[in-house]
């Protein structure tokens, strides 16, 4: 039985989580209303939004927008889904913050977004470990202005020795390091996991494990298992490394993803995340077979417990 048929979730509907896409809220609500009236003679309707709003939520993977219209749209979607806090960073896929001036600019954009919604958006620092002095200065500057945690792209593999002094500093701060990791399935025999030509500095599960073993007191967040990567491979690889966490961000909604992550990594090491796929992000947690206590952990408590280590927790 498919994930979206369990527990009466959208019973009788052909909708899947892909139908709960960004911008489809109105049509989704109208469709749900029609279903409720048709089925009222047989059983009480399942109120998906009422169920969803039971859970407080922290989005552990959000993006920063300095355009006021985009920032407002982000908050509007968060409000619809009851997302209390969003941890943001500026995507750096194009230039990847290769110089101190570039990563300072990225962080300034994040600080600007934070100021637009100071009670909702919390920034994560971006640096480049090839510049240790400037990176340490930037970490201090940004944390002093309210940022919590670090978000890294593919500038350098996470287990590169260049990262060691920065990881050690974050151990002092008791903050998590969020890294854009990958383990792609690939197509036509091409598998990004073993690609050393086009993405030589991408961090694979193997690099996460290597650095997690070297620094068992540090905390690492493997980004977006819903972003198209081989999430089964990653979750199985991380099973015995308690300082590696995963977030569920991304637009992919494969059946059993959330259940598999909780079963293999543990119910305390999975974070709710959207990466802009708001309705998919919330829908795949709600539609999973994990129990209510586990959903509370994934939606809010797990990330809040990480924040508690540095005194930045909510509630």
Q: For residue 222, is pLDDT > 60?
A: yes
Q: 55-92 pLDDT, tens per residue?
A: 999 999 999 998 999 999 999 999 999 999 999 998 66
Q: CA-CA distance, 138 to 127, in Å (whole number)? A: 7
Share of the chain above pLDDT 90, in %: 68
b or e along 190-209 (b: 16 or more beta carbons within 10 Å of the residue's beta carbon)?
eebbeeeeeeeebbbbebbb
Residue with tokens 């974050």: 170
For residue 4, the model assigns a pLDDT of: 37
Burial of 164 (0-12, 13-18, 19+ CB in 10 A): middle
8 CB-near residues (< 8 Å, 6+ apart): 43, 46
Q: 275-299 pLDDT, tens per residue?
A: 999 999 999 999 999 999 999 999 9
C-beta atoms surrounding 132 within 10 Å: 16
For residue 198, the model assigns a pLDDT of: 65
Q: 149-202 pLDDT, tens per residue?
A: 999 988 889 999 999 999 999 999 999 999 988 886 654 555 555 555 667 888
Give the chain's domains with CATH numbers: 58-308 (3.20.20.140)
For residue 35, the model assigns a pLDDT of: 44
Q: What is the pTM for the complete model shown?
A: 0.84
Confidence of residue 26 (pLDDT cuts 50, 70, 90): very low
Q: 104-123 pLDDT, tens per residue?
A: 999 999 999 999 999 999 99
Q: For residue 133, is pLDDT > 90?
A: yes
For the chain, give the mean pLDDT: 85
Q: CA-CA distance, 295 to 297, in Å (whole number)? A: 5
What Cα–Cα distance (Å) separates residue 267 from each residue in 192, 224, 264, 293?
Answer: 28, 17, 9, 9
Q: For residue 30, is pLDDT > 90?
A: no
């Amino acid at each position: 039985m498919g994930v979206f048929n369990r527990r009466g979730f959208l019973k009788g509907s052909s909708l899947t989580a892909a139908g709960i896409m960004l911008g489809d809220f109105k049509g989704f609500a109208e469709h749900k209303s029609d279903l409720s009236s048709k089925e009222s003679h047989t059983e009480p309707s399942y109120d998906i939004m009422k169920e969803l709003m039971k859970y407080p939520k922290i989005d552990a993977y959000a993006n920063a927008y300095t355009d006021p219209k985009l920032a407002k749209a982000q908050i509007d979607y968060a409000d619809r889904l009851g997302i209390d806090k969003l941890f943001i960073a500026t995507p750096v896929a194009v230039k990847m913050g290769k110089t101190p001036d570039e990563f300072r600019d990225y962080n300034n954009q994040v600080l600007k977004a934070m100021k637009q919604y100071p009670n909702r958006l919390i920034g994560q620092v971006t640096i480049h470990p090839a510049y240790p002095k400037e990176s340490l200065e930037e970490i201090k500057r940004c944390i002093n202005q309210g940022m919590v945690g670090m978000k890294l792209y593919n500038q350098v593999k996470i287990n590169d020795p260049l990262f060691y002094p920065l990881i050690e500093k974050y151990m002092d701060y008791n903050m998590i390091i969020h890294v854009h990791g990958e383990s792609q399935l690939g197509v036509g025999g091409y598998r990004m996991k073993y690609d050393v030509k086009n993405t030589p500095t991408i961090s694979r599960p193997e690099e996460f494990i290597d650095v997690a073993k070297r620094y068992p007191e540090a905390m690492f967040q493997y980004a977006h298992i819903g972003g198209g990567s081989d999430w089964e491979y990653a979750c199985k690889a991380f099973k015995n490394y308690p300082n590696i966490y995963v977030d569920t961000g991304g637009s992919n909604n494969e059946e059993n993803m959330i259940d598999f992550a909780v079963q293999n990594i543990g119910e305390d090491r999975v974070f709710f995340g959207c990466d802009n796929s708001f309705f998919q992000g919330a829908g795949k947690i709600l539609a999973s077979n994990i129990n209510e206590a586990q959903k509370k952990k994934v939606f809010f408590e797990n990330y809040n417990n990480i924040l508690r280590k540095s005194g930045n927790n909510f509630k």
